[in-house]
A and B are shown apart, each in its own frame.
Chain A
């Protein structure tokens, strides 16, 4: 199993540009999560999906952020327009739920995308 795959590993962009982060979850997993990690705020849950449907996006900081999961093997997190304060490491994680709830199962993380907005 290749694990959760994220691309790109590093992204450097200028303020105002659109940024798209990509994630391929582990095959068969039914939950997908996007987290953001910064020194100041730690790991923040941005949004999560169950069976490709967004369940909770209350962690998405602003309307500039959007996430999609068009199928079970692919998800994107888009920032448009990007700002310097969006600089962070963005993680995607997937999980296989038991009894319809993910909390009893471990999350499998990708290695993240380090985003730098100048």
Chain B
């Protein structure tokens, strides 16, 4: 079964707007990772946030983690058409397996 569930399933915005995606998970984790997948390509790692961290930044990306709510969010600021992709969270669920969520499809219109 899926450990992470992303919300929304799909998101459409205009260039320059911010995009926020959420990930909820079921069991305690050691860390949470976010990945991007462009159409027809493999997944690319974006950010890893540990369970004792609350926020992390990388360029235009901001990830937050709330372990009490078992949720994480990925914010992309000042989005670009090139950000169009599917975004996945992945968690270990306290196990030795990295399980991916269902993904959010982001469409950024020029």
A residues near B (Cβ < 8 Å) are 4, 33, 35, 42-43, 45, 48, 55-56, 91, 93, 101-112
Contacts and interface: CB of A to CB of B under 8 A. Distances in A.
Chain A's interface: helix, strand, loop or mixed, by majority? strand
Contacts of B40: 111
A33 B88 CA distance: 17
A108 B30 contact: no
Given A42-B2, A42-B103, A43-B88, A107 B97 contact: no
A91 B92 contact: no
Given A42-B102, A45-B98, A109 B88 contact: no
A106 B40 CA distance: 20
B96 A42 contact: no
Contacts of A33: 98
